Amino acid sequence: MNQVPLLSVHDLKTYFYLEQNRIAKAVDGVSFTVSPGETVAIVGESGSGKSITALSIMKLIEKPGKIVEGSIHLEEKVISSLSSKQMTKLRGNEIAMVFQEPMTALNPVYTVGNQITEMIRKHRKLDKKQAQIEAINLLKIVGISRAEDVVNDYPHQLSGGMRQRVMIAMAISCNPKLLIADEPTTALDVTIQAQILDLMVEMKERYHMALLLITHDLGIVSEYADRVVVMYGGQVVEEAPTKQLLRTTKHPYTKGLLESLPNLKEDVDRLGTIKGTVPPAYALPNGCRFYDRCPLAMEKCKEANPELYQVNTSHTVRCYLHEKEEIE
């Protein structure tokens, strides 16, 4: 897409200052954009920094964490420079987030109706009766039957799928420009996962939003995302349009993620695996952060962390294997 970005993240660094003078570089120089109406997926294993990236965009990082460098723009607004009061006005109104576990995101002592109407009254200046009518309408829009009854229910009275639908209703209640969904189907049954993802795409199109999807599942990405940002060890290691990335995967880590997916077209006895684990953010290696897990590692990979190489106009990769492919 050649549009002016809706969201622009540049050289974002979010560190956590731990005991014994340890610094966990959870997000370490991440840059990417999201265009209006686009669905961008950030992919990676647990510990790769993708959820901290999302929380940084929302400015929901709590101590001992801190955004130490970089900029975040939502159109002309510099989010990274906004005060807490200014961010409160923006959050939920122009940018909203759906969390992976709605039971912890929803307040257990208030009805779902109270929680939706609070958002509506805060940002849209409707009176209590109008907000209640709008809350019921939103519950219907996200596919909840008996919305007139459910609006008076508490979160614990709803199933996981229904709670996630309530979270989506809250997120779209003020027609945000950007919706961030952080592992929105992780806690749900497989049969419900596709329904929730389809619903988010439907809401994205209905309200003309952009969608930033945080996930570890490249199977989800292949079906729902326009573009993919692969993260590892707090950094972007590969980025490309979805079809291009799946067709011409460049980074060994991305290849490992793809090989770990089941493929109905191939008869395999065992799925591929990536040996080892993501290094802790407080003990990152000096060289390539994937070095000790990479089947193609070279000596130079251990010595210095590669930069992001632009292998074509829409595909970047952080890997020495493609250093000479960089376009002029």
| Each residue's pLDDT tens digit, 199-215 | 999 999 999 999 999 99
CATH topology of domain 7-94+176-325: Rossmann fold (3.40.50)
The answer to whether 107 touches 130, Cβ cutoff 8 Å, is no
pTM of the model: 0.92
Per the prediction, the chain carries an average pLDDT of 91
Euclidean distance between CA atoms 124 and 94, whole angstroms:
12
Euclidean distance between CA atoms 132 and 114, whole angstroms:
8
For Cα atoms 176, 182, 183, give the angle at the middle one, nearest 5 degrees.
135
> What pLDDT is stored for residue 264 in this prediction?
47
Reported as half-sphere exposure (CB side, CA atoms, 13 A), residue 319 has a value of 26
**pLDDT(260) > 60:** yes
List the structure tokens of 283: 């003990």
What Rg do the C-alpha atoms of the chain give, in angstroms?
21
- Model confidence at 295, pLDDT cuts 50, 70, 90, reads very high
Residues 6+ apart with CB under 8 A from 85: none
What is the tens place of the pLDDT at every residue in 125-176? Answer: 899 999 999 999 999 999 999 999 999 999 999 998 999 999 999 999 999 9
- Model confidence at 1, pLDDT cuts 50, 70, 90, reads very low
- Model confidence at 191, pLDDT cuts 50, 70, 90, reads confident
pLDDT (mean) for 85-91 = 91
Query: Hey, what long-range contacts does 119-122 have (CB within 8 A, 24 or more apart)?
Result: 119/92, 119/170, 119/173, 119/174, 120/173, 120/174, 122/92
What are the DSSP calls for 102-140, one per residue?
Answer: HHHHS-TTS-HHHHHHHHHHHHH---HHHHHHHHHHHHH
> What pLDDT is stored for residue 263 in this prediction?
62
Least confident range of 53-57, 97-101, 286-290: 97-101
**pLDDT(35) > 90:** yes
The answer to whether 295 touches 282, Cβ cutoff 8 Å, is no
**pLDDT(192) > 90:** no
